[in-house]
Amino acid sequence: MEVTKKPFTFTLKNDFNMTGFLLKAKPDEAFRTKTELSKELVRTNTTSNVKLKDNIDLTQEDVEKLIEAGRKTLIYYEANNRLDAYNYPDEFELLDLVVKY
Spatial contact of 88 and 6, defined as CB atoms under 8 Å apart:
no
| pTM greater than 0.85 | yes
Predicted pLDDT at 53: 58
* DSSP states along 25-70: H--SEEEEESSTT-SEEEEB-TTSSSBPTT--EEEHHHHHHHHHTT
Predicted pLDDT at 64: 93
Q: What is the pLDDT of residues 39-87, one digit of tens each?
A: 899 988 776 655 555 668 899 999 999 999 999 999 999 999 999 999 9
d(CA 12, CA 40): 22
d(CA 7, CA 87): 8
Domain boundaries, the chain: 8-100
Beta partners for 30?
Answer: 74
Q: Is residue 98's pLDDT more than 70?
A: yes
Predicted pLDDT at 4: 75
Q: What is the pLDDT of residues 74-89, one digit of tens each?
A: 999 999 999 999 999 9
